[in-house]
Amino acid sequence: MAEAPNDQANGLRKMTTPPQPVKVIAIASGKGGVGKTNVTVNLGVALASQGKQVLLMDADLGLANIDVMLGLHPQYNLLHVLDGSKTLAEIIVEGPAGLKIIPAASGIQKMAELSPAEHAGMIQAFSEMEQHIDILLIDSAAGIADSVISFTRAAQEVIIVVCDEPASITDAYALIKLLSREYGVDHIHIITNMTRNIQEGRELFNKVLMVCERFLDVNLDFMGIVPFDEDLRRAVKKQRAVVEYLPRSKAATAFTHLSKKINHWPVVKQPRGHMEFFVERLIEASLEIA
């Protein structure tokens, strides 16, 4: 009983302290097999290594594999939060450098099918997070499925990963076209993966840029490259992030460089630029698509 006043004081502080703004970044790709999840994981570890509080949400709800990539064995996932059996804090698992991960729940592939109570529960779960988060990374599924569009629309920034294959370029353009024409996303960052050097990466980016400038009203930003690197393959086989496993490798150096660019992106300063607002936007986008 003696602790009750302290508990009330803590509750009052939570009510009166404004939520901290969070950078919400969705990472997508036009097709599978371009290394999108590997890019997301390593960016997350690189950012966490620089002292940022990073939460990575596995949003590939059909083919979730972030836990496999890092050799983790989560017991619970987002589905347990929605059914009320676990809090969000209870399902989060910790990865390298303190990276926090929300495991995917394959049982909720269509956000629009959630009941109003589940919508409210999901928003409340994020709003009740006590730990401060600087960056929320969303690893979306590949392609242009409804869930991909919902997550990318809800995010503040969108990164598309592309490699030098005709299908990757074509499908990346299809995703950019859909986001731009149908949903008004007018600024997208591009990372070229598995390229030999910066010149090759720039040439690949220009291929995408040329088509987009001709047919779309969208601003593409060339973030940089992730070079082809055998050390990256070694890290994948060891179920480790290359940034943590082989930090001096070419790939790790590239991820560190890219993460520093993300650190310089401005944080949304509006009162609603916080975590639960992302979930509200996500649900609204899902309902509109449905």
Q: Say which range, 85-94, 170-179, 200-209, has the weakest mean pLDDT.
A: 85-94
What's residue 258's pLDDT?
98
Residues 34 and 289: their CA atoms lie apart, in Å, by: 26
Give the H or E element holding residue 176: helix 166-183
pLDDT tens track for 180-194: 999 999 999 999 999
Whether 83 maps to a domain, the answer reads: yes
Measured distance CA(29)–CA(148) in Å, rounded: 9
In a domain, residue 76? The reply is yes
Give the chain's domain count: 1
Position 80 in a domain = yes
Three-state SS for 270?
coil
Q: Who wins on pLDDT, 62 or 204?
A: 204
Interval 210-231: pLDDT, tens: 999 999 999 999 999 999 999 9
Domain of residue 125 covers 21-157+239-289
Q: For residue 72, is it within any domain?
A: yes
When pLDDT is cut at 50, 70 and 90, the band that residue 283 belongs to is confident
Q: For residue 105, what are the CA distances in angstroms to 78, 82, 83, 171, 175?
A: 5, 10, 12, 26, 24
CB 136 within 8 A of CB 25: yes
Residue type, 71: G
Residue 182, in any domain of the structure: no
In-domain check, residue 49: yes
- Asked if pLDDT for residue 1 goes beyond 60, the answer is no
CATH number of the domain that 152 lies in?
3.40.50.300
Query: Is 114 a domain residue?
Result: yes
